[in-house]
Structure 1
Amino acid sequence: MRVTAPGDVKGGRYVSNLVKLEVHTATSTVAASGGGASTQFQLLGAITHPATFDLAALQTLPAVTRTVGGSIYTGVSLWNLINASGIQTNASVKNDLLGFYVVATGTDGYRVVISLGELSPDFGNQPDIVAFAVNGASLGTNGFARLVIPNDGKAGRYVSNLVGLEVVSAPR
């Protein structure tokens, strides 16, 4: 059996001769606050430079735009944000990055998982962003920051009112 990741830039997420497939619960230390509008989020976990971002801090970073479902989102590249924080990979392990994921958490406790292999330009190259504006205006009830996954057909992995992005190394 072979598992593939169509569109993978280098085929690094292909697994040949699959003998075991495990499903685990993703963990996160970021606590929800019971809902409501967010005003900042933490970037933490397996990174060298943890940080807290508010709207002003996000707006100082290089902006990108993505048109998704008729809306134009402005924000920062999720990959660039995480990568610039120094992902703590082990250079002696081939494609170590593929064992990392990020858990995004909203104020209401809604959580989604994104593999760093999905985001990396060397593998999946997904154009995910942390948006701070939609159609030239604030996000309103979606908080100051919203995770937007442009290739997510049903928007099920969008996280409004973002309070945390935690980078995790999967157990080996």
Structure 2
Amino acid sequence: MTEGLAASTSEVEPVSSPPAGLVLAGDIAHPARLTVRDLHAWPQREARVSFECATSGVQCHHFQGPLLHDVLCAAEPDFDPARRKDRLRFLIAVTGADGHHALLSWGEIDPDFGRAPVLLATAMDGVALDRHGPQLVLPQDRCGARHISAITAIRVEAHVRSGA
């Protein structure tokens, strides 16, 4: 047996097809289905992140991927362009393949407000996430609860309708 190969087939990870991609929907002009490969079209950022995981303790990872803000802006959320504050009524719901959910406000990621460098990671610790799907990474969070693996959906919704 060649050195470095698994000793038995029970140790070999089964080959699976790549995820279908995440569904980007909601109050946006351009709904889409995006794969990790699609996310490479945006400028890639890097972040070294440490966070506490309730089940695994402190985790330290190096992530690469586009900013969530950049990807969502390309989908053209239904903002009133004449009113900067209009962006603050939008919420971002992220869902993972395991059913894990997280909610962010647009103000958190908007450069005019919170400016949080939230990533849609395409790689973790130098390993591409093509087979697993993108991961939501919040470098500013001390707790890892909002880090969502294998994202299946991102929904951008206006909490209150404009003019209401």
TM-score (norm 2): 0.76
Distance 2:140 2:109 in 1: 12
| C-alpha displacement of 1:51 | 1.1
Partner of 1:148: 137
2:141 is equivalent to residue 160 of structure 1:
no
Distance 2:84 2:70 in 1: 21
Partner of 2:29: 48
Partner of 1:23: none
| C-alpha displacement of 1:94 | 5.3
Identity over aligned residues, as a percent?
28
The runs of 5 or more residues in structure 2 that have no matched partner are 1-17, 51-59
CA contact 2:107–2:114 (8 Å) conserved in 1: yes
Q: What one-letter code is carried by the residue in structure 2 that aligns with 1:81?
A: V
Distance 1:91 1:56 in 2: 30
Question: What is the number of residues matched between the two proteins?
Answer: 135
Distance 1:140 1:64, change over 3 A: same
* Alignment root-mean-square deviation, CA: 1.9
Partner of 2:13: none
**C-alpha distance after superposition, 1:71-96 (max 9, x if no partner):** 21011100111012111012455501
Partner of 1:33: none
CA contact 1:38–1:145 (8 Å) conserved in 2: no
| C-alpha displacement of 1:138 | 2.6
Q: What does 1:8-19 align with in structure 2 at a 5 Å threshold?
A: none
CA contact 1:39–1:55 (8 Å) conserved in 2: no
Q: Secondary structure at the match of 1:126?
A: coil
Partner of 1:118: 108
The runs of 5 or more residues in structure 1 that have no matched partner are 1-36
* Residue of 70, 85, 97 corresponding to 2:75: 85
Distance 1:140 1:47, change over 3 A: closer
2:93 is equivalent to residue 103 of structure 1:
yes
Q: Secondary structure at the match of 1:95?
A: helix
